[in-house]
Amino acid sequence: MRNVLKTTVLTATAAGLVIGLTACSSGSSDSAAQADPNKPLVIAASATPHAQILKFVQDNLAEKAGLKLDVKEVSDYVTPNTSVQDGSADANFFQHQPYLDDFNKKNGTDIVSVEAVHLEPLGVYSKKVKGIADLKDGAQIAVPSDATNEGRALKLLADNNIITLKDGAGTTATADDIASNPKHLKFKELEAAQLPRSLDDVDAAVINGNYALGANLKPATDALVLEKAQGNPYANILAVKKGHESDPRVKKLAELLHSDEVKKYITDNFQGAVIPAF
């Protein structure tokens, strides 16, 4: 899929200031101590709900805290990490820890979590059936193609007694780790962003919360089943390149993202589709 970046400038600076992604960072070789606290913090974020949450922070909390944000909206799961690694973004907000661990391992990157912010429950959606038990023999199920989210999708199906997984199947489980498949389901791996568009072509799809929201799906009412929040390791995190955790702008943003105001905003505006993780 073609990487797409949409720039949303969320700063208190003069109108019309738009800084290119490759030109606005302090550079990956700079230490956190050298970061200019007066420059906007460049952060790559998924549009929904991550950029929405950041916009709330900018509009209501950042100015008082002396923080300027330049948010780069992304539509994929690769660009935000490569941008942080090469220094063209200072931070990102789009992923959970298992995905980050897998990305670092596969790409030799050294990106680290700063804070967990919220959980977006993964859900099963369908235009063909009203309940997950109604899936027919041989039904085709679309799942995320990235390793950790595919394993997460399969676990959700296993938790709802649709399949069973082999003992020891972890967060990177694939269809090869299915121990039993009574309905002979067929699995179609797609990039996560494409899953909502696949609903017309498959019997059901397991969709990440942010992409469900972006497609005007309502997880609390439209999903056949949703992940439970209790004990869930898939909270979305604010992340930076290792060594930049002490950037004063990053520390300010982390503090604001854990504020009572942000918790209330998430609870009031997403009604269970996004859940505070603090």
Q: What is the pLDDT of residue 2?
A: 32
Examine the domain organization and report whether 201 and 272 are in the same domain.
no
In contact, 207 and 196? CB cutoff 8 Å: yes
In contact, 88 and 15? CB cutoff 8 Å: no
* The last residue of a domain, from among 185, 210, 226: 226
Q: What is the pLDDT of residue 24?
A: 40
The stretches in the chain having pLDDT less than 70 are 1-34
Examine the domain organization and report whether 84 and 52 are in the same domain.
yes
- For the whole model, what pTM was predicted? 0.72
233: left (phi over 0), alpha (psi -120 to 50) or beta: alpha
| pLDDT tens digits, one per residue of 210-244 | 899 889 998 889 999 999 877 788 899 999 999 99
- The tokens 């429950």 sit on which residue? 121
Q: What is the pLDDT of residue 233?
A: 85
Across the chain, which distance is largest between two alpha carbons, in Å?
Answer: 61
Examine the domain organization and report whether 66 and 9 are in the same domain.
yes
141 CB burial (10 A radius; 0-12, 13-18, 19+):
buried
Examine the domain organization and report whether 115 and 128 are in the same domain.
no
Question: In CATH, what number is assigned to the domain containing residue 20?
Answer: 3.40.190.10
Q: What is the pLDDT of residue 172?
A: 85
Q: What is the pLDDT of residue 220?
A: 86
Examine the domain organization and report whether 53 and 187 are in the same domain.
no
Instruction: For residues 244 and 107, give the distance between their C-alpha atoms in angstroms, rounded to a whole number.
Output: 19
Strand partners, 74: 5, 46
Q: What is the pLDDT of residue 37?
A: 79
Instruction: For residues 182 and 233, give the distance between their C-alpha atoms in angstroms, rounded to a whole number.
Output: 28
Examine the domain organization and report whether 15 and 53 are in the same domain.
yes
Say how many domains are in the chain: 2
Q: What is the DSSP string of 243-274?
A: T-TT-HHHHHHHHHHTSHHHHHHHHHHHTTSS
Examine the domain organization and report whether 109 and 138 are in the same domain.
no
- Alpha-carbon distances, residue 192 vs 56, 114, 174, 200 (angstroms): 25, 24, 15, 16
Instruction: For residues 108 and 104, give the distance between their C-alpha atoms in angstroms, rounded to a whole number.
Output: 5
State the residue range of the domain holding 262.
Answer: 5-121+233-276
Examine the domain organization and report whether 199 and 94 are in the same domain.
no
Examine the domain organization and report whether 167 and 199 are in the same domain.
yes
